[in-house]
Amino acid sequence: MYEDYRKAGEITKIVKKEVEEFLKEGTKVLEIAEFVENRIKSLGGELAFPCNISINEIAAHYSPPIYDETVLQNGDYVKIDMGAHVNGYIADTAFTVKIGEEKDDLIRASEEALENAISMIKAGVNTSDIGAKIEETIKSYGFKPIENLNGHRLAQNELHADITIPNIATDEGYILKDGEVFAVEPFSTDGAGRVVDEDRVFIFSYVMDRPVRLGLARKVLSEIRRNYPDLPFAERWLSKKFPGRKLDFALKTLMRNGNIYNYNVLRDEKRGFVAQKEHTVIVKKDGCEITT
């Protein structure tokens, strides 16, 4: 099990380093996402979730659709969030760059918050204390942590298991146990410090096989159940088999029917810029092991 977590982490380390050369003005977001996903698979991993490329005020869940013509612009805060798995054991990791510019304090705030959080992680530590350290670190830079986004426990074929690591101090927490695996992901912002749902949805996950009347929706659901029964998938992945706008209608039908869950694009409530840094760690008695 842990060796698979490590293998998945090694894959993401390679891809993170390689994708940096794409992060420059004029590069298509779609090109970046497909590079990340194809490279994970070429290195022997499987996709734990679609590559997220969230820009500026967008905090999470933006994975470009097949028709996306968006290109990177100088000054953009670009968050690359990727996940690989080996036999269902997941490495989840993210980083932020500012296109055409040097790293600034907004990015440093998320990075230092992650470093400080990881330095605390070991069996017996309360997640509330970790959240308090993340909040303290980000606020020391003059920014806000995003209070309604959290780190999360990982399990086999489970991206978001039952336990979270908050990015703020909380009244109650969870005591970490030896051997557990977590993704820790501080978000810093100069905005509201809270994300809201946009109407746009590009990432989904399978929920149940409930009867649905629309013929195309039944075909799409069969494809989802066969290929993506456990982990999130992108609309873009289905577009290659079900081209055209009818796919969008089929997915909306499946959402309304409760067959699939939708991950709405998340943005800062006041449209502030957002930075993110994330690693996956294995909790140990005397510290933790960073796999990504």
**Spatial separation of the C-alpha atoms in residues 54 and 29, rounded to whole Å:** 9
pLDDT at 243: 79
Asked if 199 is an active-site residue, the reply is no
For 137, list phi and psi in degrees, rounded to 5: -65, -50
pTM of the model: 0.93
Asked if 278 is an active-site residue, the reply is yes
**Spatial separation of the C-alpha atoms in residues 55 and 80, rounded to whole Å:** 9
Asked if 230 is an active-site residue, the reply is no
How does DSSP assign 272-288, residue by residue?
Answer: --EEE-BEEEEEETTEE
Domain ranges, ordered by start, for the chain: 2-196+267-290, 200-266
Asked if 81 is an active-site residue, the reply is yes
Check if CATH label 3.30.230.10 holds for domain 2-196+267-290.
Answer: no
Task: Answer yes or no: are the C-beta atoms of 23 and 79 closer than 8 Å.
Answer: no
Check if CATH label 1.10.10.10 holds for domain 200-266.
Answer: yes
Task: Answer yes or no: are the C-beta atoms of 86 and 155 closer than 8 Å.
Answer: no
- Tens digits of residue pLDDT in 82-104: 999 999 999 999 999 999 999 99
Give the C-alpha distances (Å, rounded to integers) separating 82 from 31, 112, 182, 249: 14, 20, 15, 27
**Residue 162 pLDDT grade (very low, low, confident, very high; cuts 50, 70, 90):** confident
Catalytic one of 185, 190, 235, 268: 185
- Tens digits of residue pLDDT in 110-124: 999 999 999 999 999
Q: Other C-beta atoms within 10 Å of 164: how many?
A: 19
Q: What share of the chain is helix, strand, coil (3-state, %, to 5)?
A: 30, 30, 35
Asked if 61 is an active-site residue, the reply is no
Task: Answer yes or no: are the C-beta atoms of 48 and 90 closer than 8 Å.
Answer: yes
Q: Which amino acid is at 56?
A: N
Rounded mean pLDDT, 40-63: 98
DSSP H or E run through 153? strand 151-154
Helix count (H) and strand count (E) of the chain?
Answer: 7, 15
Catalytic one of 85, 152, 190, 268: 152
Asked if 185 is an active-site residue, the reply is yes
pLDDT at 272: 98
